[in-house]
Every structure is written in C-alpha cells, then in structure tokens.
Amino acid sequence: MRIKPCDSLLLVIDLQGRLLPAIDDGRTVLENATWMVDVAQAIGVPILATEQYPQGLGVTEAGLRARIPDGCIVEKTHFSALAEGSLLGAPEAGRRQWIVVGTEAHVCVQQTVLDRLAMGGQVFVVEDAVGSRRARDKALALQRMQQNGAEIVSREMVAFEWLEQSNTPVFRAVLQRFIR
C-alpha cells in the first residue's frame, strides 16, 4: 500500500533532550526525524509528538520542539503512546496511516506501533529516524514490528509517496529544500 498525504499523520515519539545522548547514533536519528517534520509541514501532513515522563527525561529536543505546533505534544507515562488515551483525542489521530519516528525503537516506538496495528491502523516506521540505546535492540524491534504488519521505510520513501508527482510547486519546493 502507498502512503497518502491526505491519510497520513507523522508521529514523533519521545525525542527528548536527556534521552538522546544515550541513543546509538542519536544525532542522526534526531536529524532525520527533524527532516521528516519539516517535509511533513511543507506538504501539509499533520504532526503529533509525545514526551515520556518529561520531568525525568526532559522535554522534546529544543530545535525539534520549535517546529511542532502548539498543543501537538502529549505527555505520557506508559510506554505505548496509546495506553493513556490522550493521543487518540487529537483530531489528527483519526488518520489511518501513521508514519512513526522516535525513540526508543524497542520500547515506546514498538509498543505504540503494535497497539496501533492491533487497532487496525496502517503503520510505517521510518528506519533512519528511529533509534535505541543499542543497535541490536533497534534491529530486533524493526524486525518484530514488521512481522506484526508495520512497514519499514526510509525518510525519502515517505517524502516521495507524500509528493506523489513531480510537476507541482510543492514538489519543486521540497526537492530544492530537502532532497539532495
């Protein structure tokens, strides 16, 4: 199945300042997730984000947080972003295709993805924009999510499917600004 911009939501899970230094290649994960946020905004795809226990792990990394619209960040204490229900209260959460980025791949990302799949949603996990403290945990999480029905994709796969065609001003703007 293809990713459609009118059906999509970008979900940014727990890219928090105190957690990121512990993530394997965390700087790259953050850069790729930020790129996804910027492309989503350029195309008009809504964004939601979560923060796992911000009192302990800090808030979303400042540069990323500045890009996410007010009121689109949900605090949580359960690992799954769906367990507490507040994320599902956002109007954007009703979109059937969720594109997921964030940390940790084997904890909060995985539990959220598995819960969304159990609800009948379509989930696309952006491999180059998710991370864990250990590379092996990320690899196992990606494998498990895929075995349960998630599609593992790259950031450019998502961007080009959102764009759909090359003869538009949006395509030219995204190409010039983000795709090198």
Average pLDDT, the chain: 94
Encode pLDDT of 137-153 as tens digits. 999 999 999 999 999 99
For residues 124 and 112, the answer to whether their CB atoms sit within 8 Å is: no
Task: Give the domains, in start order, of the chain with CATH numbers.
Answer: 5-178 (3.40.50.850)
Percent of the chain scoring above 90 in pLDDT: 82
pLDDT band at 29 (very low <50, low <70, confident <90, very high): very high
Higher pLDDT, 180 or 59: 59
Q: If pLDDT is split at 50, 70 and 90, which confidence band does 92 have?
A: confident
- Report whether 31 contacts 37 (CB < 8 A): no
Q: How many CB atoms lie within 10 A of CB 119?
A: 10
CB-based burial label for 27 (10 Å; 0-12, 13-18, 19+): exposed
Residue with tokens 């924009």: 129
- Whether the predicted model's global pTM rises above the 0.75 cut: yes
Residues 49, 11: contact at Cβ < 8 Å? yes
